[in-house]
Structure 1
Amino acid sequence: MNRRIATLAVVVALGALALAGCGKNEGAAANGGEGGTLNLYTARHYDADQKLYDLFAEKTGVEVKRIEGKPDELIARMRAEGANSPADVFITADAGALWRAQNAGLFQATNSDTLNQAIPANLRAPGGEWFGFSRRARVVAYDPAKVRPEEIDDYAKLATPRFKGRLCVRSGDSVYNLSLVGALIEAWGPARAQQWVEGVTANMARPPEGGDRDQIRAVAAGVCEVALTNSYYFIRMAAGDDAGDREIAGKLRLGFPSLDGQGSHVNISGGGVAAHAPNRDNAVKFLEFLASPEAQAIVSQYNYEYPAVADAAPAETVAPYADFQAHPMSVARYGVHQAQAQSMISAAGWR
């Protein structure tokens, strides 16, 4: 344990050195004027994001200095850095991960008219700690030769005996699955959500392995008939540059189950201003930029996600998969039930 603590201390120290010169004494330029610095801690790892950073720097003169890592690694790092953290903005995928950062006290509230008007209330924290800037639906890829659309039009049906041994899904500790189960707890209550988790576990065609694209490939290979996946993974395979992935997706369909007839479960990627941001004005400026039409178009075009801004149109490649009803539940509710969701998943044996 002492060795781990020492290692974390070294990592934090090295990070502080790497961001030297980006601290609280940046001057007026870094705190609202043109130019300056933005220290970004990000758990997103998509090529589209570099286009966002480049455009933001071009438009504002603000240099984006980023530290990348997994969500929990970055959360642990910011907690260890405390008030001396150089982080200005924390960005990550999934509202459940954002909730963990909020629960750790790593965000400060942002009261921005631009953000409040652009980002729907159900896609942001009620107190303004974080905002969703892109959406993804957690839906299903299925083999149309074996599954009828009406058999997967409701999440409840995935846990029925119809799909015994025919379902593929990634690990239960994936935050994507934790957030989905959290949404079911919010909608159904713990007892029914537990039954669903047990049904899904019983229906697995194999023990969970790999990510969402691996589940999609397993459906195409005949290992299973249906798989839970985030929408953008399927769309990327269907519209991306990899001919093999396009062939696989071409054999399958993307289905959008509904939760209690109110629409499909939707999650976000998003972020907020760090609690001790040394360049707060640039941090707010960056978040407002992410809600701009230009940024929304980049995220949709290059990462195959749905825009978060209500009146922003999806990219041409995404549009064929965008005509679905999204459940209006606040994404902030997923994290509230995260611990209970993890307990249910563990108890059911969903590894």
Structure 2
Amino acid sequence: MKFTKFFTILFASILLTLTLAACGEKDNASDNKSKTESKVVNVYTARHYEADEEVFKNFTEETGIQVNVVKGEAEELIERLKREGESTEADLFITVDGGVLANAKAKGILQSVNSDVIEANVPENLRDADNQWIGMATRARIIAYSKDRVTPDQLSTYEDLTSDNWKGKVLARSSTNLYNQSLLASFIELNGEEQAEQWAEGIVKNFARQPDGGDRDQAKAIAAGTGDVAIMNTYYVGLMLNSQDPEEVKVAEGLGVFFPNQDTNGTHVNISGIGLTKHAKHPNNATKLIEYITSVPAQEFLSAGNYEFPVNQEAAKPELLQSWGDFKMQDLDFETLGKHNKKAIEIFNKTGWK
């Protein structure tokens, strides 16, 4: 019995020693991983803005964490993440448009982010319900108008642009443009397919010319007298007003910014977002970068550099955005933009919006 008791105690001591050693090895491994993560975070981004690059640079200077960036088109990057699977080096995926973010989530390339800091920085309506993507900036799709030929009291809603008052005066990008697809998708969600189709048909009827070029080109067509109003994103107006090209500045100075549907369901707003990839190798660093991007200083820097609206409600907007005033935005789930994208394209094709 004495020998049995002795060996029992000896066995327990050995087991305890091995357990403590294993815990020590695990802690050391965790520490080593943490040290590795203190050096790098890899980003796949469909946003190609200088302001973003400066934010990454500032993050590195503050934290010592190097940000490596791979740029591409959103769908291309989503497919790349699916193809790479567990072998991917990407820790974060950044893109524009709520529909694209919803698609990334549906494709299973993202995972939830758990951070009290992020939840404090970004309101619930600008985050995915499962925190698989976090808003980093918003832009409004407004009616830009010629200050020489149009007064604000002549404008009211997106729907009014289909009236005879605007026949031969409306400018817009192609129906292949994601911004227009999401705008129409929002109308499908808010008003139903029939009314959305009537709107698209009415805009086509009132085109000043066939859709051509980007938002800047719509602004230039207003300046040239081709049309009087254009459906544009607000941040393009800011970029043109602060361009190094004097002609772009002159064009933008002749534009007024009008936020439609203030007495109905609000102005269409789209979002840029950032998500933690499913197989991120540096999740801690990636979370730190999201926390930084959504912080007040970084939000104010992004807004001042790219003229988008900050998602952090504590961040001050630059003077230009303040001069446009506050506005009511559409109240809808950004995921619906992806849900109705296919139908929006069908409607565009049916109504002849090229």
TM-score (structure 1 length as normaliser): 0.88
Deviation (angstroms), 1:29: 5.9
1:157 is paired with a residue whose SS is helix
Answer yes or no: is 1:45 the counterpart of 2:60. Answer: no
Q: For residue 23 of structure 1, what is the aligned residue in structure 2?
A: none
Deviation (angstroms), 1:112: 1.9
Q: Identify which range, 145-154 or 70-79, moves more after superposition.
A: 145-154
Query: Deviations 1:106-130 (Å, cap 9, x if unpaired)?
Result: 1111122222222122212112111
Q: For residue 241 of structure 2, what is the aligned residue in structure 1?
A: 238
Deviation (angstroms), 1:160: 2.1
Q: For residue 197 of structure 2, what is the aligned residue in structure 1?
A: 194
- For structure 2, the 5+ residue unaligned runs are 1-28
The structure having more radius of gyration, on CA atoms, is: 2
Query: Deviations 1:118-173 (Å, cap 9, x if unpaired)?
Result: 21222121121111111110001111332232332211112222222211111112
Q: For residue 231 of structure 2, what is the aligned residue in structure 1?
A: 228
> How far apart, in 2, do the equivalents of 1:294 and 1:148 lie?
36
Contact 2:40 2:68 in 1 (8 A): yes
Q: Identify which range, 133-142 or 326-335, moves more after superposition.
A: 326-335
Return the letter of the residue paired with 1:311: E
Return the letter of the residue paired with 1:72: E
Give the one of 256, 259, 272 matched to 2:259.
256
2:94 is paired with a residue whose SS is strand
Contact 2:143 2:257 in 1 (8 A): yes
Contact 2:37 2:284 in 1 (8 A): no
2:69 is paired with a residue whose SS is strand
Answer yes or no: is 1:129 the counterpart of 2:132. Answer: yes
> How far apart, in 2, do the equivalents of 1:54 and 1:29 lie?
25
Contact 1:258 1:264 in 2 (8 A): yes
Give the one of 89, 92, 96 matched to 1:89.
92
Q: For residue 16 of structure 1, what is the aligned residue in structure 2?
A: none
Contact 2:155 2:260 in 1 (8 A): yes
Return the letter of the residue paired with 1:308: V
Return the letter of the residue paired with 1:284: T
Return the letter of the residue paired with 2:146: D
Cα 1:53–1:29, aligned 2, differ >3 Å: closer, same or farther?
farther
Matches within 5 A, 1:291-306: 291-306=294-309
> How far apart, in 1, do the equivalents of 2:244 and 2:156 lie?
30
Cα 1:116–1:333, aligned 2, differ >3 Å: closer, same or farther?
farther
Question: How many matched pairs?
Answer: 326
Deviation (angstroms), 1:317: 3.2
Q: For residue 321 of structure 1, what is the aligned residue in structure 2?
A: 324
Give the one of 209, 217, 221 matched to 1:218.
221
1:66 is paired with a residue whose SS is strand
Q: For residue 208 of structure 1, what is the aligned residue in structure 2?
A: 211
Deviation (angstroms), 1:292: 0.5
Q: For residue 13 of structure 1, what is the aligned residue in structure 2?
A: none
Return the letter of the residue paired with 2:100: A
> How far apart, in 2, do the equivalents of 1:293 and 1:270 lie?
16
Q: Identify which range, 291-300 or 117-126, moves more after superposition.
A: 117-126
1:44 is paired with a residue whose SS is coil
Query: Deviations 1:280-326 (Å, cap 9, x if unpaired)?
Result: 11111111111101110111111111111122111123321243222
Identical columns (%): 38
Give the one of 308, 311, 314 matched to 1:308.
311
Matches within 5 A, 1:137-156: 137-156=140-159
Deviation (angstroms), 1:258: 1.4
Contact 1:131 1:270 in 2 (8 A): yes
Contact 1:97 1:175 in 2 (8 A): no
Give the one of 323, 338, 342 matched to 1:339.
342
- For structure 1, the 5+ residue unaligned runs are 1-25
Deviation (angstroms), 1:232: 0.4
2:139 is paired with a residue whose SS is strand
Q: For residue 281 of structure 1, what is the aligned residue in structure 2?
A: 284
> How far apart, in 2, do the equivalents of 1:29 and 1:98 lie?
33
Give the one of 172, 175, 186 matched to 1:172.
175
> How far apart, in 2, do the equivalents of 1:179 and 1:322 lie?
24
